[in-house]
């Protein structure tokens, strides 16, 4: 669906905005991750997939071959097959030289421009991870990695027997078992960091069910045997509770008691930009919080406070198509991108504590939340208010916005705010119309918030505009 906006400066121009769509993601890290390698065959596969996705943005769907990839990189038709894959066959640890990678990067940037950003992430990841002598410095938990490699090898053999030759990579295995693209790569990272890592019985059953459903016409006897032996030789937990079973520092009781200004602040931020949604595959609730990229330091501090592994933070890229038509019907179109940073995980206890505080699961959260009843001091409520403003406040103003009128009524009553609640019509993500409600907190209340909370919470650039204006 396109959103049409008349240009205020020149009414002869009309701007068409498509809705924001997911473009890609990468893992956040303060330092490059040194825990897993990125083999060349997976890199080539991921590179082809990323180029396919870029081309698909222009509404042309293709399946990229080695021949076409060779041409895109500026070589003869047989370059990938004869120069890269032949060397991989002779030496599975073969790595592409830095000089060649640099040339590829320059060529791809010339061809795809700003759309190359995810390709650059792949190239940088490959270049960095393969510059380390990983296997001389790590004790590899081979039994768990062998399980993944056996699955890839056996599925490759079964599919190749029936169809054309195909290579099952970490990416394609992730898709076959019903997970996101980087799932297997993330699990390999977990295994390297925790030698005692085990897939739970629930997770294994989900893998099996998805493989049987997607490969139902093939003989999966050997695949099922791999799962049976994994169960036989490992004492499996019934449930992993998502990714957090293996994060020893994670504090799933962080929000059990809201007993500090900082906890009140994080709770307010979550009420603004957090979400909880039901994962239909596992029937567990997923918690997440996603903010614009300029809030990276804020998200990082939140992750550290609750003990969440910062390497599991995702950087997400969204795109939309902007079309412009002038009075002479001249047409121009370009892409707009925005980056966000996101934490997402499953934890029954963590989720339950937020539910106890009035947080709502599902899309109805925004229009139905209420101010939580905290057995806490006024300062903790002020911390909550600052957190909510940091998330859903207007830059340079004391205005906060919510889809729930009752939530703003609660705040108005709690802090005896004299200003009235206003409303405006908005366009939801699905294109339907909705209402947003706004409340000015007032200069005096914001001064009190800053005075009592600013030394207890992490800094955030958004507040600088408010300080410069009048606070």
**Burial of residue 439, with CB atoms counted within 10 A of its CB: 0-12 exposed, 13-18 middle, 19 or more buried:** buried
Instruction: Give the residue among 402, 292, 395, 304 at the shortest CA–CA distance from 338.
Output: 292
DSSP 3-state of 321: strand
Q: Using one digit for the tens of pLDDT, what is the confidence trace for 320-351? A: 666 666 666 666 666 666 778 899 998 999 99
Q: Using one digit for the tens of pLDDT, what is the confidence trace for 149-204? A: 888 888 888 876 555 556 788 888 888 898 877 788 778 767 766 667 788 888 88
| Owner of token pair 């206003």 | 422
Where does the pLDDT of residue 245 fall: very low under 50, low under 70, confident under 90, or very high at 90 and above?
Answer: very low
Q: Are 408 and 471 in contact (CB under 8 A)?
A: no
The more confidently predicted of residues 327 and 308 is 308
DSSP 3-state of 441: coil
The more confidently predicted of residues 18 and 294 is 294
Helices marked H in 91-141: 98-112, 117-129, 134-137
What pLDDT score does 429 carry?
Answer: 59
The more confidently predicted of residues 240 and 270 is 270
Q: Using one digit for the tens of pLDDT, what is the confidence trace for 400-431? A: 999 999 999 999 999 999 999 999 987 765 56
Separation of alpha carbons 304 and 296, rounded Å: 12
Instruction: Give the residue among 411, 407, 389, 385 at the shortest CA–CA distance from 399.
Output: 389
Residues 56, 111, 119, 31, Cα dihedral to 10°: -150
What pLDDT score does 267 carry?
Answer: 97
pTM for the model stands at 0.58
Phi, psi torsion values for 77, nearest 5 degrees = -60, -35
Architecture of domain 261-469: Roll (3.10)
What pLDDT score does 68 carry?
Answer: 86
What pLDDT score does 91 carry?
Answer: 77
Region 249-256 average pLDDT: 92
Q: Are 321 and 335 in contact (CB under 8 A)?
A: yes
What are the structural domain ranges in the chain?
140-194+200-239, 261-469
Separation of alpha carbons 260 and 16, rounded Å: 46
What pLDDT score does 133 carry?
Answer: 36
Q: Are 313 and 27 in contact (CB under 8 A)?
A: yes
Among 240-244, 281-285, 391-395, name the one with the lowest average pLDDT. 240-244
Separation of alpha carbons 461 and 384, rounded Å: 18
Q: Using one digit for the tens of pLDDT, what is the confidence trace for 134-147? A: 333 333 456 677 88
What pLDDT score does 334 carry?
Answer: 62
Q: Using one digit for the tens of pLDDT, what is the confidence trace for 91-120? A: 777 888 888 988 998 888 888 776 777 787
Q: Using one digit for the tens of pLDDT, what is the confidence trace for 453-462? A: 989 999 888 8
Question: Beta-carbon neighbour count of residue 60 at 10 Å?
Answer: 8
Region 215-244 average pLDDT: 76
């Amino acid at each position: 669906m396109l959103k049409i906006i008349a240009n205020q400066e020149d009414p002869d121009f009309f701007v068409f905005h498509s809705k924001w769509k997911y473009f890609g993601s990468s893992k956040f890290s303060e330092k490059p991750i040194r825990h897993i390698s990125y083999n060349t065959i997976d890199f080539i596969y991921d590179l082809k997939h990323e180029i396919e996705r870029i081309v698909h943005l222009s509404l042309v769907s293709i399946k990229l071959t080695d021949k076409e990839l060779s041409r895109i990189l500026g070589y003869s038709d047989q370059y990938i097959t004869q120069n890269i894959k032949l060397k991989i066959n002779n030496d599975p640890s073969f790595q592409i030289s830095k000089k060649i990678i640099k040339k590829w990067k320059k060529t791809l940037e010339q061809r795809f421009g700003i759309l190359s950003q995810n390709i650059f992430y792949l190239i940088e990841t490959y270049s960095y991870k393969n510059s380390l002598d990983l296997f001389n410095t790590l004790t590899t938990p081979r039994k768990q990695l062998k399980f993944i490699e056996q699955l890839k090898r056996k599925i490759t053999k079964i599919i190749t027997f029936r169809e054309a030759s195909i290579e099952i990579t970490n990416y394609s295995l992730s898709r076959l078992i019903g997970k996101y693209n980087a799932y297997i790569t993330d699990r390999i990272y977990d295994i390297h960091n925790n030698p005692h890592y085990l897939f739970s019985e629930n997770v294994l059953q989900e893998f099996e069910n998805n493989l049987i459903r997607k490969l139902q016409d093939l003989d999966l006897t050997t695949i099922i045997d791999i799962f049976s032996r994994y169960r036989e030789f490992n004492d499996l937990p019934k449930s992993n509770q998502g990714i957090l079973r293996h994060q020893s520092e994670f504090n799933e009781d962080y929000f059990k008691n809201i007993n500090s200004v900082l906890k009140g602040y994080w709770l307010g931020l979550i009420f603004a930009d957090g979400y909880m949604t039901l994962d239909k595959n596992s029937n567990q609730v997923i918690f997440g919080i996603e903010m614009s990229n300029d809030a990276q330091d804020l998200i990082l501090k939140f992750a550290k406070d609750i003990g969440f592994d910062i390497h599991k933070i995702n950087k997400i890229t969204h795109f939309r198509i902007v079309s412009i038509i002038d009075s002479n019907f001249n047409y121009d179109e370009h892409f707009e991108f925005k980056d966000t940073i996101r934490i997402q995980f499953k934890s029954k206890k963590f989720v339950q504590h937020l539910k106890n505080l009035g947080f709502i699961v599902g899309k109805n959260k925004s229009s139905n939340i209420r101010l939580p009843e905290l057995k806490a001091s006024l300062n903790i409520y002020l911390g909550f208010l600052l957190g909510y403003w940091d998330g859903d406040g207007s830059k340079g103003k004391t205005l906060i916005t919510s889809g729930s009128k009752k939530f703003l009524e609660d705040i108005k009553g709690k802090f005896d705010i004299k200003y009235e609640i206003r409303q405006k019509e908005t366009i939801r993500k699905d294109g339907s119309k909705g209402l947003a409600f706004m409340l000015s907190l007032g200069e005096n209340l914001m001064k009190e918030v800053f005075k009592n909370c600013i030394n207890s919470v992490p800094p955030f650039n958004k507040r600088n505009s408010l300080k410069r204006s009048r606070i």
